[in-house]
Amino acid sequence: MSANSRLTIAAHALAWIGLYQRQGHEVATSEQIASSVNTNPVVIRRLLGDLRRAGLVESRRGLGAGWTLARDLESMTLLDVYEAVETGPLFALHRATPDQGCVVGHGIQPAMRRIYDGIEETLRGELARVTLQDVLQDVLAA
């Protein structure tokens, strides 16, 4: 399938900031995080911008600027991150509207939507069970 790495990168960035702050540093720069992720700082800034809008991180500007966590890693779940960085449903319906004159074409979209909604709810439950603190612990255990 198609898979994007936004959730992965966001979790990486949050874990990195969290660890960096525990080591006594005040702010983390997108440059530093990008170096660990192995990508361009702008990619990180865009992603952290989504997380800021969701209230997970804060940013400072000016000299000595950078990023800080807005909450403890314990209080953030992968669901919070997922909702901040992912848009739209997991499974898409038809790109073009099916033939409404056909029984199947007419009923298939509401039927699949119902099924998908249920599945996504389960997915959310799973994501909500994992905190970013769990992620960091798992990272450090290796």
Using CB under 7 A, list all residues that contact DNA.
Answer: 1-2, 4-6, 9, 28-31, 39-43, 45-46, 48-49, 52, 59-67, 86-87, 92, 95-96
117 binds a second copy, rule: CB under 8 A: no
Q: x/- binding map, residues 90-109, to a second copy, per CB under 8 A?
A: xxxxxxxxxx--xxxxxxx-
> How far, in whole angstroms, is CA 12 from its chain's centroid?
10
Q: Which does 12 bind (CB under 5 to 8 A by kind): a second copy, DNA, none?
A: a second copy
16 binds a second copy, rule: CB under 8 A: yes
Q: Which does 41 bind (CB under 5 to 8 A by kind): a second copy, DNA, none?
A: DNA
Q: Which does 118 bind (CB under 5 to 8 A by kind): DNA, a second copy, none?
A: a second copy
Question: For residues 116-140, b (16+ Cβ closer than 10 Å) or e, as one string?
Answer: eeeeeeeebeebeebbbbebbeeee
CA distances from 36 to 96, 104, 141 (A): 41, 50, 18
23: left (phi over 0), alpha (psi -120 to 50) or beta: alpha
1 binds a second copy, rule: CB under 8 A: yes
